Amino acid sequence: MGERYDEVGELASFAGTVATAERDPVVVIAGCGAGATIEGLREHDVAAYGFDTSRSALDAMDEATREWAIEADLRDDDLVASLREAFGIDGIDVFVTECVLSFLTVEEATDALAGIRDTDGVGVLAHRVRIDPPIAAQNGDIDATVLPPAKWQAACDPADADIWRDGLEQWKLPPSGTDPADET
């Protein structure tokens, strides 16, 4: 039997290659849900934080994880400043959108990501997008934007600055020293 793929371990290793400061790598998870990735990253010595719009998702977190997450919206104008203040952090090495972009329109995502990308001290943006509609959209409760990663990238990141992946596939993150924008 093959070894089980360790997606959090891969993200943690990547964050270690991106971080240049003399501290643990800092990763923020947007749309963190109940915080599984935050917990996993912390087991790999990553200073992981997250945010989500859902109070019930945040309330479902382990008590220990709750201090690493806040209620916030990816579309907030002052998002990075709020994260810095809430968590007492400065640099963010990797900013991950974790299966959350489908809750936004393309225009909302484009604006939000441009603002984050242009903020000093924010390193690499990495996105996992789901190509199946969220449950809430399947139930007709929300309108979802369901696009494959290449279409999200073309719409929101024409300069190809970020990393874009299908949320159901492996990260396959660029190796140490590789500029994510140069990956083939």
Ligand X SMILES: C[S@@+](CC[C@H](N)C(=O)[O-])C[C@H]1O[C@@H](n2cnc3c(N)ncnc32)[C@H](O)[C@@H]1O
Interaction site with ligand X (CB under 6 A): 30-33, 52-54, 57, 73-75, 98-100, 103-104, 134
As measured in angstroms, the least distance from the Cβ of 6 to ligand X is: 16
Our CB check for ligand X shows the closer of 5 and 181 to be 5
Our CB check for ligand X shows the closer of 20 and 40 to be 40
As measured in angstroms, the least distance from the Cβ of 158 to ligand X is: 22
Our CB check for ligand X shows the closer of 135 and 181 to be 135
**Tokens at 13, concatenated:** 């290793």
36: which residues sit within 8 A by CB, 6+ positions away? none
Q: Which of 69, 79, 63, 136 is nearest to 102 (CA)?
A: 136
CA distance 172 to 184: 11
As measured in angstroms, the least distance from the Cβ of 179 to ligand X is: 26
As measured in angstroms, the least distance from the Cβ of 71 to ligand X is: 9
Tell me whether strands 69-71 and 47-52 are parallel, antiparallel or unpaired: parallel
| Residue 119 burial (C-beta neighbours within 10 Å; 0-12, 13-18, 19+) | middle
| Cα R_g (the chain), whole angstroms | 16
Our CB check for ligand X shows the closer of 54 and 178 to be 54
